A and B are shown apart, each in its own frame.
Chain A
Amino acid sequence: DTGVSQDPRHKITKRGQNVTFRCDPISEHNRLYWYRQTLGQGPEFLTYFQNEAQLEKSRLLSDRFSAERPKGSFSTLEIQRTEQGDSAMYLCASSLGGADTYEQYFGPGTRLTVT
């Protein structure tokens, strides 16, 4: 069990550019979640997957955001035409759906700074 990994850990981009983040969940976990955390706030849910199916998207997820999990393993989160308000920590978590533990395991996050 190597834990949830995220890449990159830090990303600085100029407003208007596109960025893509990657999340590798714990290998046997079939559920994968994306959250966003801004300074002084708790994480806010963005979207989640069971295997390759995207089950739910938050209203926070504007049309500029898209997430995929093509083979039910790793996931990518893309932000198009970034805005300064997108600056945040993007957290990925995974869990074993159907288990009775309900624990989500979090990665270290990707910190995005839009200049």
Chain B
Amino acid sequence: AQSVTQLDSQVPVFEEAPVELRCNYSSSVSVYLFWYVQYPNQGLQLLLKYLSGSTLVKGINGFEAEFNKSQTSFHLRKPSVHISDTAEYFCAVSDLGNTPLVFGKGTRLSVIA
């Protein structure tokens, strides 16, 4: 069965500093990878996705992620964070696409002024 590990449950970072949120997945077969963001009392919003092709994918709000097949990782990065980026971030994987997602436990990003 698929599994996703988000290595950090909480990441505090100062405003305008860079941030990396780590994600590792278990599957060795072809996978589709996603990062979602959840603001308080809201549903999940897609930040970016990797389906195939270039291993560096760019998403909304200045976020990007790099797919590394050999390390089974899909880390999320942003070069300069804003207060408004404070939220919970979830990494998810699907092995067939358009099928149920398997989520990690989430990383709470807290941006400090």
Contacts and interface: CB of A to CB of B under 8 A. Distances in A.
Interface string A11-44: 0000000000000000000010101000011111
Interface size class of B (residues with CB under 8 A): 20 to 34
A97 B36 CA distance: 19
A4 interface: yes
Nearest to B92: A42
Contacts of B49: 101-103
A106 B44 contact: yes
A100 B51 contact: yes
Contacts, number: 63
Given A102-B32, A102-B51, A107-B43, A31 B103 contact: no
Contacts of B51: 100, 102
A69 to B, nearest CB: 15
A51 to B, nearest CB: 13
B57 interface: no
Nearest to A45: B100
